[in-house]
Amino acid sequence: MIALVAHDERKSDLLDWVRANHEQVVRHGLVATRSTAGLLRRELGLTVRAVESGPHGGDQQIGSMVIGGEVTSLVFFWDPLWAAPHAHDVLALVRVAVLHDIPVALNPASALAMSRDGFTLERTATGAR
C-alpha cells in the first residue's frame, strides 16, 4: 500500500503527481491523511483509505502501518518552510520509514522516480522490515 501525505502548501503538487502517474498509483492500495484522502477522492475519484489528519495522529497511524508491513511506500510532499506543533510526528514517520527500509519520496522528483520504477522498490532485496 502506498501512503500519500502532503502539507497544505504541497497538496496541489501531490494531486498533480497522482494525476500524472495515475496508472502506476492505482495498482496499489492507497492510504492518506484525512484532508489529502478527501482531495484525492473528490478530484480524482480514487478509493483511498483515510486516517486522521497529521496534527490529530494521522502521521503516527501511517507509521504504525509501516511497522505492520501494510504501507510499503511513502510519498510525503512536505513543505520545508513549514513549522507546526506536530513537526516531531513528521520526523517520526520518516524515521520509521527509513528504519523499515521502504521507499520514501519527499518531493515530485523522487516520487516520479518511484512511479517510473513501477514501485518495484517496495520490497527491498535486503528483506529489511
Handedness of CA 20, 34, 9, 65 (dihedral sign): negative
Catalytic-labelled residue, pool 8, 16, 59, 117: 59
Element (H, E) at 74: strand 73-77
Q: Helices in 34-118 by DSSP H: which ranges? A: 34-44, 58-67, 87-99, 108-116
Per the annotation, the verdict on 59 as an active-site residue is yes
Cα-based angle 129, 75, 126 (whole degrees, multiple of 5): 25
Tell me the three cell numbers of residue 122: 517496495
Catalytic residues: 59
